[in-house]
Copies of this chain bind each other. A is one copy, B any other.
Amino acid sequence: MKKVNDESSTVIELCSKSNAITRKLDGNLGAIHGIGFIEYMVLHHLNESPQLLMRRIDLADSLGRSASGVTKMLNPLEKIGLVSKEVNPRDARVSLVKLTASGLKTYQQASNSLNQVAVGIFQRIKPAEIQRIQDLFNRLVV
């Protein structure tokens, strides 16, 4: 008697691996650069966006986290000067987050560490397949 379908067991595997990877990277980045993996992801998404600028709500979506989680997480990052708060003249509700010069520098350094660890994680998977995985992720409906 089968209890879960293929989709479910894949979801379970996905989240287990993600937990393990997050823990590993938290330790790695934390020891070397003083930020966790989630903080790294903030810097990454800012770096990818035009003008290094994002709305908090879009950041929450990109990270798969709640709005309040983003608010709280950003406080320490502002305090240590990796990001700054900007206003949107068109809409007074939004509070934009910007990557500072210092944040960019930390991002670039931490990226080197991440690159090494990430290569280790995918060492048994061919480059073409990595591309393929990423394509599949983009088609997930969450």
Give residues in A with beta carbon < 8 Å to B: 3-25, 37, 41, 44, 47, 62-66, 107-108, 111, 114-115, 118-125, 127, 129-131, 133-134, 136-142
- Tell me, rounded to whole Å, the shortest Cβ–Cβ distance linking A16 to chain B: 5
- Report Cα–Cα, A11/B22, bound state, in Å: 9
- Tell me, rounded to whole Å, the shortest Cβ–Cβ distance linking A108 to chain B: 6
Are B7's CB and A118's CB within 8 A?
yes
Q: What are 5 A-B contacts with C-beta separation under 8 Å?
A: A3-B44, A4-B44, A13-B138, A16-B41, A122-B140
- Tell me, rounded to whole Å, the shortest Cβ–Cβ distance linking A22 to chain B: 6
Partner of A15, one of B21, B133, B141, B142: B21
Are A124's CB and B139's CB within 8 A?
yes
Contacts of A6 in B (CB 8 A): 127, 130-131, 134
Are B21's CB and A37's CB within 8 A?
no
Partner of A125, one of B19, B63, B119, B139: B139
Closest partner residue, chain B, to A120 (CB atom): B141
- Report Cα–Cα, A8/B122, bound state, in Å: 10
Most buried by B among A11, A23, A119, A122: A11
Closest 8 A-B residue pairs measured CB to CB? A19-B64, A20-B64, A18-B18, A7-B118, A8-B118, A20-B142, A124-B139, A13-B137
